[in-house]
Structure 1
């Protein structure tokens, strides 16, 4: 069961560290369960979280266990199991998602250009300039790229194949995509946009592996996209829509390191 869960997490674009953490948590929960792990229900989960609190575990640790178990039951198709579970809330310590500096971006793009793989170059430009999740990137088909006159954007779909949002493409991203598309065979342009050397659709795991040699994780490219928009003063709802955030609070995380700038803006505007 844990193996199937791991493979599902990979398909969802989770990092190796996240997968390792989730499996570790579930192993601890399984070892604690008084009965069969497969038969664990809401009462067992609540008792386990209470046990962690009684054992003086930190709020962050309890939250980590809660999240891992919550995701596991989503994987099982039983999200209702977690509906009425209470846990000690994690202390509010919001951190700005880690992103690439301009220098790091330039170095990454230079290294990619040196490597010369047109597919990899196009993928990184799309991730950096549209903020798509790695799973969304891999799900793109050639037909999801629209480059006609002034219309230049990609169509991002959800897990059911339905349109989630459209994201405009920068001129640089368009250029790299056109070069890449011209390099692949016409028959391949009828299916997946990004394909492996084996002729199969790229997977989140293969994209992570490709970026690992550049010491970059796909999540960091997405965070860089959002952070750059915020830094340029783009309104939160617009950034949220482009990133496909379902909760505006997800977007607000990128504002934290801008607090001083916001304070200065008020002082400069209203101080006499």
Structure 2
């Protein structure tokens, strides 16, 4: 028997994805649902007008807040950038790449690899790692 899961809407590849519903996520979603209230709509995230968000409006809001806070001067602020960062941090934390591939819905490890490309600084650190004191 599988643990609790959320079923996402169709992704870019036209397939829905199942997202593990962890205890932490259950807590956050419960608080959100308490605030949002019960509505007669399937979409989980809605606007103040109780209408589903469109992908473009989320991208626009992220861009707006990135510019407003100055974050976008330092790093890219977009759903895609957040997804890449999530993948990269999970790999750096030692997450099993096959589990990450399934979680993110990447069709192949090659596509996931592109998401978590290792940059020059990371390569230099990997070379130096373990050579302290030599």
Partner residue, 1:24: none
Residue number among 28, 40, 55 corresponding to 1:204 in the alignment? 55
TM-score normalised per structure 2? 0.67
Verify the 8 A CA contact 1:230 1:255 in the aligned structure 2. no
Distance 1:170 1:223, change over 3 A: farther
- State the number of aligned residues: 115
Q: Per-residue deviation at 1:198? A: 2.2
Partner residue, 1:138: none
In structure 1, distance between residues paired with 2:127 and 2:79: 32
In structure 1, distance between residues paired with 2:33 and 2:45: 9
Compute the RMSD of aligned alpha carbons: 2.9
Q: Per-residue deviation at 1:176? A: 2.6
What pairs with 1:1-272 in structure 2 (closer than 5 Å)? 151-158=3-10, 164-188=16-40, 190-215=41-66, 216-253=77-114, 254-257=116-119, 258-260=122-124
Higher relative contact order (CA 8 A, sep 6+): 1
**Which structure has the highest helix share of the two?**
1
SS in 2 for 1:245: coil
Alpha-carbon displacement from aligned partner over 1:67-115 (angstroms, at most 9, x marks no partner): xxxxxxxxxxxxxxxxxxxxxxxxxxxxxxxxxxxxxxxxxxxxxxxxx
- Give unmatched runs, 5+ long, in structure 1: 1-150
Larger Rg: 1
Verify the 8 A CA contact 1:230 1:236 in the aligned structure 2. yes
